[in-house]
Structure 1
Amino acid sequence: MMKALEQIERLITMNSLIKAHKTGSPDQFSKRMNISRRQLFSYMEFFREFGVELEYSKSLNSYYYSNGHELNISFNMEKVPASRFNYLQAIRGLKAKGCFNPLKDESLQ
Protein backbone atom coordinates (compact mmCIF):
# COMPACT_ATOMS: atom_id res chain seq x y z
CA MET A 1 0.00 0.00 0.00
CA MET A 2 2.78 2.45 0.86
CA LYS A 3 4.49 1.78 -2.49
CA ALA A 4 1.30 2.77 -4.30
CA LEU A 5 1.03 5.97 -2.25
CA GLU A 6 4.69 6.78 -2.97
CA GLN A 7 4.09 6.37 -6.70
CA ILE A 8 0.97 8.54 -6.61
CA GLU A 9 2.87 11.20 -4.67
CA ARG A 10 5.72 11.01 -7.19
CA LEU A 11 3.32 11.42 -10.14
CA ILE A 12 1.69 14.43 -8.47
CA THR A 13 5.07 16.05 -7.74
CA MET A 14 6.39 15.40 -11.25
CA ASN A 15 3.22 16.83 -12.78
CA SER A 16 3.48 19.97 -10.63
CA LEU A 17 7.11 20.52 -11.58
CA ILE A 18 6.35 20.04 -15.27
CA LYS A 19 3.41 22.47 -15.14
CA ALA A 20 5.57 25.07 -13.34
CA HIS A 21 8.51 24.56 -15.78
CA LYS A 22 10.76 23.75 -12.82
CA THR A 23 12.05 20.25 -13.60
CA GLY A 24 15.63 21.17 -14.45
CA SER A 25 17.64 18.95 -16.77
CA PRO A 26 16.87 15.22 -17.00
CA ASP A 27 19.71 14.51 -14.54
CA GLN A 28 18.50 17.19 -12.13
CA PHE A 29 14.90 16.04 -12.44
CA SER A 30 15.73 12.40 -11.73
CA LYS A 31 17.90 13.36 -8.74
CA ARG A 32 15.20 15.66 -7.41
CA MET A 33 12.67 12.83 -7.66
CA ASN A 34 15.17 10.36 -6.16
CA ILE A 35 14.85 8.00 -9.14
CA SER A 36 17.12 6.89 -11.97
CA ARG A 37 17.02 8.52 -15.40
CA ARG A 38 15.56 5.28 -16.73
CA GLN A 39 12.73 5.45 -14.18
CA LEU A 40 12.19 9.11 -15.07
CA PHE A 41 11.71 8.24 -18.73
CA SER A 42 9.35 5.39 -17.75
CA TYR A 43 7.20 7.85 -15.80
CA MET A 44 7.25 10.23 -18.77
CA GLU A 45 6.10 7.43 -21.04
CA PHE A 46 3.29 6.75 -18.54
CA PHE A 47 2.26 10.43 -18.88
CA ARG A 48 2.34 10.16 -22.69
CA GLU A 49 -0.04 7.20 -22.53
CA PHE A 50 -2.63 9.69 -21.25
CA GLY A 51 -2.26 11.78 -24.41
CA VAL A 52 0.05 14.54 -23.23
CA GLU A 53 3.28 15.35 -25.03
CA LEU A 54 6.39 16.22 -23.06
CA GLU A 55 9.32 18.12 -24.48
CA TYR A 56 12.48 19.52 -22.96
CA SER A 57 13.39 23.19 -23.42
CA LYS A 58 17.02 24.19 -23.01
CA SER A 59 16.01 27.84 -22.61
CA LEU A 60 13.57 26.96 -19.80
CA ASN A 61 15.84 24.22 -18.47
CA SER A 62 12.67 22.24 -17.93
CA TYR A 63 10.25 19.74 -19.38
CA TYR A 64 6.87 21.12 -20.38
CA TYR A 65 3.58 19.89 -21.82
CA SER A 66 3.84 20.72 -25.51
CA ASN A 67 0.55 19.78 -27.17
CA GLY A 68 -1.85 22.01 -25.26
CA HIS A 69 -2.85 19.26 -22.84
CA GLU A 70 -1.83 18.80 -19.22
CA LEU A 71 -2.60 16.21 -16.62
CA ASN A 72 -4.69 16.85 -13.56
CA ILE A 73 -3.63 14.29 -10.96
CA SER A 74 -5.35 14.08 -7.61
CA PHE A 75 -5.77 11.53 -4.88
CA ASN A 76 -8.44 11.33 -2.23
CA MET A 77 -8.56 8.87 0.62
CA GLU A 78 -11.27 8.74 3.23
CA LYS A 79 -12.38 6.44 5.99
CA VAL A 80 -15.56 4.59 5.01
CA PRO A 81 -17.99 3.56 7.77
CA ALA A 82 -18.31 -0.22 8.13
CA SER A 83 -21.98 -0.21 7.07
CA ARG A 84 -21.16 1.60 3.82
CA PHE A 85 -18.12 -0.61 3.24
CA ASN A 86 -20.24 -3.77 3.62
CA TYR A 87 -22.79 -2.32 1.17
CA LEU A 88 -20.06 -1.51 -1.38
CA GLN A 89 -18.56 -4.98 -0.99
CA ALA A 90 -21.98 -6.55 -1.64
CA ILE A 91 -22.44 -4.47 -4.81
CA ARG A 92 -18.95 -5.42 -6.01
CA GLY A 93 -19.79 -9.08 -5.44
CA LEU A 94 -23.00 -8.78 -7.46
CA LYS A 95 -21.22 -6.91 -10.25
CA ALA A 96 -18.48 -9.56 -10.36
CA LYS A 97 -21.15 -12.26 -10.81
CA GLY A 98 -22.83 -10.24 -13.56
CA CYS A 99 -25.98 -9.83 -11.46
CA PHE A 100 -25.86 -6.05 -11.16
CA ASN A 101 -25.05 -3.36 -13.68
CA PRO A 102 -26.38 0.08 -12.68
CA LEU A 103 -25.97 1.33 -16.25
CA LYS A 104 -28.36 -1.34 -17.59
CA ASP A 105 -30.77 -1.56 -14.64
CA GLU A 106 -34.07 0.00 -15.85
CA SER A 107 -35.32 0.35 -12.27
CA LEU A 108 -32.68 3.04 -11.73
CA GLN A 109 -33.84 5.15 -14.71
Structure 2
Amino acid sequence: MNILIKQIELIERVDRLVRMQATGTPDDFAYKLGISKTKLYRIINVMKQLGAPIEYDHNLQSFVYEKAVGFTVGFFDKERMGGRMSV
Protein backbone atom coordinates (compact mmCIF):
# COMPACT_ATOMS: atom_id res chain seq x y z
CA MET A 1 0.00 0.00 0.00
CA ASN A 2 2.89 2.32 0.68
CA ILE A 3 3.90 2.07 -3.00
CA LEU A 4 0.48 3.31 -4.11
CA ILE A 5 0.63 6.27 -1.74
CA LYS A 6 4.12 7.18 -2.97
CA GLN A 7 2.92 7.05 -6.59
CA ILE A 8 -0.07 9.29 -5.81
CA GLU A 9 2.19 11.75 -3.98
CA LEU A 10 4.53 11.80 -6.98
CA ILE A 11 1.64 12.51 -9.35
CA GLU A 12 0.52 15.32 -7.04
CA ARG A 13 4.03 16.84 -7.14
CA VAL A 14 4.14 16.57 -10.93
CA ASP A 15 0.68 18.15 -11.15
CA ARG A 16 1.67 21.05 -8.89
CA LEU A 17 4.82 21.86 -10.90
CA VAL A 18 2.99 21.53 -14.23
CA ARG A 19 0.32 23.97 -13.01
CA MET A 20 3.07 26.43 -12.05
CA GLN A 21 4.73 25.86 -15.46
CA ALA A 22 7.92 25.36 -13.46
CA THR A 23 9.06 21.92 -14.56
CA GLY A 24 12.01 22.93 -16.72
CA THR A 25 13.31 20.52 -19.32
CA PRO A 26 12.55 16.80 -18.91
CA ASP A 27 16.07 16.28 -17.51
CA ASP A 28 15.61 19.17 -15.04
CA PHE A 29 12.16 17.95 -14.06
CA ALA A 30 13.33 14.41 -13.37
CA TYR A 31 16.18 15.81 -11.28
CA LYS A 32 13.79 18.03 -9.27
CA LEU A 33 11.64 15.00 -8.53
CA GLY A 34 14.61 12.76 -7.72
CA ILE A 35 13.65 10.19 -10.34
CA SER A 36 14.97 9.01 -13.69
CA LYS A 37 13.74 10.55 -16.92
CA THR A 38 12.29 7.14 -17.82
CA LYS A 39 10.23 7.10 -14.63
CA LEU A 40 9.12 10.68 -15.30
CA TYR A 41 7.75 9.67 -18.69
CA ARG A 42 6.03 6.65 -17.13
CA ILE A 43 4.29 8.95 -14.64
CA ILE A 44 3.30 11.38 -17.41
CA ASN A 45 1.87 8.49 -19.43
CA VAL A 46 -0.18 7.33 -16.43
CA MET A 47 -1.46 10.89 -16.02
CA LYS A 48 -2.42 10.97 -19.71
CA GLN A 49 -4.28 7.67 -19.28
CA LEU A 50 -6.19 9.33 -16.42
CA GLY A 51 -7.15 12.18 -18.76
CA ALA A 52 -4.45 14.79 -18.10
CA PRO A 53 -3.98 16.97 -21.22
CA ILE A 54 -0.26 17.31 -20.52
CA GLU A 55 2.30 18.31 -23.13
CA TYR A 56 5.76 19.84 -23.28
CA ASP A 57 5.96 23.50 -24.36
CA HIS A 58 9.35 24.15 -25.96
CA ASN A 59 8.96 27.93 -25.71
CA LEU A 60 8.32 27.82 -21.96
CA GLN A 61 10.67 24.87 -21.46
CA SER A 62 8.06 23.34 -19.19
CA PHE A 63 5.37 20.72 -19.23
CA VAL A 64 1.95 22.39 -19.31
CA TYR A 65 -1.71 21.45 -19.43
CA GLU A 66 -3.43 22.16 -22.76
CA LYS A 67 -6.53 23.22 -20.85
CA ALA A 68 -7.52 23.83 -17.23
CA VAL A 69 -8.02 20.56 -15.33
CA GLY A 70 -8.19 19.48 -11.71
CA PHE A 71 -6.66 16.46 -10.00
CA THR A 72 -7.68 15.10 -6.63
CA VAL A 73 -7.37 11.80 -4.83
CA GLY A 74 -8.73 11.09 -1.41
CA PHE A 75 -11.85 11.06 0.68
CA PHE A 76 -14.07 13.94 1.67
CA ASP A 77 -16.84 14.56 4.18
CA LYS A 78 -20.20 14.25 2.39
CA GLU A 79 -21.86 16.63 4.84
CA ARG A 80 -19.35 19.35 3.96
CA MET A 81 -20.26 18.86 0.29
CA GLY A 82 -23.84 19.94 0.92
CA GLY A 83 -25.72 16.71 1.20
CA ARG A 84 -25.83 13.10 0.32
CA MET A 85 -24.32 11.48 -2.71
CA SER A 86 -25.70 8.37 -4.35
CA VAL A 87 -23.50 5.40 -5.07
TM-score band, normalised by the shorter chain? Answer: 0.7 to 0.9
What's 2:55 paired with? 55
Number of residue pairs the alignment of both structures matches: 78
Look up the equivalent residue of 2:21 and give its one-letter code.
Answer: H
Over alpha carbons, which structure has the higher Rg? 1
CA distance in structure 2 between the partners assigned to 1:3 and 1:64 by the alignment = 26
C-alpha deviation, 1:46, in angstroms: 0.5
What's 1:14 paired with? 14
- In structure 1, runs of 5+ residues without a counterpart are 77-101, 104-109
TM-score (norm 1): 0.61
List structure 1 runs of 4+ shifted beyond 3 angstroms.
none
What's 1:75 paired with? 74
The answer on whether the counterparts of 1:21 and 1:62 sit within 8 Å (CA) in structure 2 is yes
User: Percent of counterpart pairs with the same letter?
Assistant: 25
Structure 1 residues 49 and 69: alpha-carbon distance in aligned structure 2, compared to 1, 3 A threshold: farther
Look up the equivalent residue of 2:55 and give its one-letter code.
Answer: E
Q: Give the match's secondary structure for 2:44.
A: helix
C-alpha deviation, 1:70, in angstroms: 2.2
Bigger RCO of structures 1 and 2 (CA < 8 A, at least 6 apart): 2
Aligned alpha-carbon RMSD (Å): 2.2
TM-score (norm 2): 0.75
Q: Give the match's secondary structure for 1:18.
A: helix
